[in-house]
Structure 1
Amino acid sequence: MSRPKLLFVTRSRYWRPGNGEATRTAALIEALAAVCDLTVFFPERAEDSARACVEAAPHRYRLAAGNVDRPERAGVLAAMQSLCRQLAPDVVLLSRLQLDFLRRAVPPGVRRVMDTHDLVSDNAAARRREGADVPEPLEFAQEMAFLGQYDRVLLIQPDDHSRVAAALGERALCVPHPVLLPAQPVRPDSRVIGYAASQWVANRHGLQWFFDRVWPGLKGARLDLAGHIAACVADPLPPGVVRRGFVPDIADLWCGMDVAINPVRWGSGLKIKTVEALAAGLPLVTTREGARGLEDLAGHAFLCADDPAGFAAACQSLLDHPERRGALGAAAHAAARARFSPDACFGALFDWLQAV
């Protein structure tokens, strides 16, 4: 069976790990390269590390990068039209709705796919609830009008998928993010809370809420900050807080933690660090936003609380009772292996591509 020719367009510097969008994009590119004749179009200038990432990839693909740092839309559109003429792709996949303007460059007869990452309208609504700035004030009906122009729309979690499928039918595909990690051991005599995150503004907001409202009430704990979020906290650090910084290896990232947290207060889509913590078999305490798309696992594979007292009580209970950590972590690891294997995440997309 011939491999479909797919042109994947992204503005994510996916070769730089450390944030959810880059992690998701890199995983999808790796999966597509295994089953497609894949070209990735990155409209901006790419640094040398991008080429190194392509050369180290387990499956061959081509990276077509721009030659300026901040290209104008007209230039990106022209480059996209040129690539389509050169490659004659069977499928064009645009990563994020912000690239919808490139739909005009896709020739008639070529299948169009949008990878949403999350719903822009959900993000806008969540920002409004928390009093945050809303840079893209899109309503759900408006977003569906855009997405209705595509042959397939990829949704990263079940709730997003069910709502979009109600509007678009079989064109909506649920394509979560795959993560398989070894389970972390229970350390009965250790009491380390771990928070791994990027510098995304909602992560910074959630960490400040945790510092102000939760951390002062916890007893006998250490808090490790991993990822780029650590650089956002000014010195002197609060008592008991340790800055680990960026950890490039995902398995190493979750080592040395006894309880993981994700105190994010607003956002949309699937929280990649929530999935990674579950996949690492760590007992997790998060908010409703951090659990978005995984609500049915709350109380079984992780603990969920939105108020400071409830969040603190959940953390303290796990710190004080290693046997609870073990039971919750085992359930988390089992749930992640069932839901976030590559086959479970990419199977529906691969089936559709085989039929193109």
Structure 2
Amino acid sequence: MTKILAALLIAFACAPASAAERVVNIFNWSDYIDPGVLEDFTRETGVKVVYDTYDSNEILESRLLAGATGYDIVVPSATFLQRQIKAGVLQPVSRKRLANAVNIWSEIDGRLSSYDPGSAHAINYMWYTTGVAYNVAKIKERIGKPITSWEQVLRPENLKKLADCGVYVLDSPEDILAITLNFLKLDPNSKSESDLRRAADHLVGLRRYIKKFHSSEYINALANGDICLAIGWAGDSLQARNRAREAGSDVEIAYAIPSEGTLMSMDNLAMPIDAPHVAEAYLFIDYLLRPDVAARNTKATNFANGVGPSRALIDSSIANDPSVYPNDATMRRLFTVTTPNQPQQKFITRLWTMVKTGR
């Protein structure tokens, strides 16, 4: 017995440290968190963070539908979240296990509930608008005034004036088709094939003036002065502005929510059905719901977060910036869209391929 016990003790002593290591595996959008938050979480809890990134909902969804992702937390946008809940690839998130759930912003949570009935599967992480980011000097040179309307961007004769200095557009049919439908005075949430085709045909007419469709590269392209305009997300656009300032360049970036209104979107914390480290996932989500932590993430990303009390802790230059936290009048002009069913999604995917490739 003594020899057996001694052997067991030796085996335990020689076992790699990682055998007892607590881990949480996260799959999130690129440039979407204060890196120091990850370090501080590990320092406070002893839980190691393995952090991977993606730049489109389609990438995340393909992983989830394939199964066995190995991730504990993912961050789908609301429309994709709705479909993933129906597909059974996400598990319920119990708010009773989250001490900081009291900090959830009720207004944003209420909007999210239309995608996640009963708020059973997700908690808002960040919310934002899709608008127009642009190089102030280059736009003034070409059209003589700031961007205030979708007319200046979505009319071929107007976009043509900007093509020489570079235009990027989000690689996101959800955003771009909805905005185009609204611009054409159609229901931005329409799932009608004729409406969607009309929007796609309009975008095909713009294609020759668009340098690239991408959902993250426009940040650096704007900051470096490589392009002069992007249809992009508010937080990313303001990151581009900040990077240009930090580099000491003469590039000035502005962001506009056009007067016709635009899409409001939400990215949300959720847990795959087969998450291997559930307890650690709850720890991390609860940590993100602390007002001080949420404020740090908004400061780092320039995206508004779903933790109500955090706004008081955010620098006024961000908390009072209508690009990040729109005023009431602008909020009334924001629209949301619901999830297309599978046949509709296939049709949208085909249309989007046509928009991007011209065939």
User: TM-score normalised to the size of structure 1?
Assistant: 0.33
Higher helix share: 2
Higher relative contact order (CA 8 A, sep 6+): 2
Q: Which has the greater radius of gyration? A: 2
